[in-house]
Amino acid sequence: MILHWEQMVLHYGPEIATHRPKFEAAGQTTYGLLCCRFAPDDKQLASRDGDHAEARLLQHQNWTEHIARALEHWEPRDSPIVVVLAINRSPCRNCSALLVTALGALHRRFPVACDQNRFILASRGIYEDARMQQATTRNDLVRLKGAGWELCVLQTGPTLPPVGNHLLEGIQDVAGRGFVRLG
């Protein structure tokens, strides 16, 4: 599963373009971007950088309040809510567990709304630490998918980098092949 950067621009607007350089190369630390169009104050985007940026985004008001409020008020005849958590490399084992727990908590509070809306985890490439102790594993991908995350590789240019191809192989084994459309 591949999500092209242009899909995010079309869905969330041109202001997302300022974040693209952070996804064009995976750095030593994580960069994450949380996107949701149904934030009540029209703050669609929240970003964090540094170690475990995705875990810190789960503490941001967009996740803890705005997305929950949008799910609370969502009705089946409404347009689907599309939440994208984009990170420049796949989550480590600990962050994978946090992502599973966070989406599980939303599912318990809003089971119908969560089943009818989308939560996309788009990673630029596979995370592998030097000792391979915190690397993203197939089991992490299975648990993330089982929790309700749509897994995909974020493509910012004409081709995927080698770490993106590596992640794509794992995702295709767990979640299938294809392209992700947001709208």
Structure tokens at 139: 């089991």
Cβ partners under 8 Å of residue 146, min gap 6: 100
pLDDT tens profile 17-51: 999 998 887 666 788 999 887 754 455 777 666 67
Compute the distance between CA of residue 117 and CA of residue 132 in angstroms, rounded to an integer: 34
Domains and CATH numbers, the chain: 2-175 (3.40.140)
DSSP assignment of 26-95, as one string? --SSEEEEEEETT-TTS--EEEEEETTHHHHHTTSHIIIIIIHHHHHH--TTSPPPEEEEEESS---HHH
120-172, pLDDT tens digit by residue? 999 998 876 555 556 777 888 999 999 999 999 999 999 988 888 888 998 99
Assess whether pLDDT exceeds 80 at residue 9. yes
Q: What is the pLDDT of residue 30?
A: 80
Query: Bigger pLDDT: 144 or 183?
Result: 144
pTM: 0.90
Q: What is the pLDDT of residue 102?
A: 96
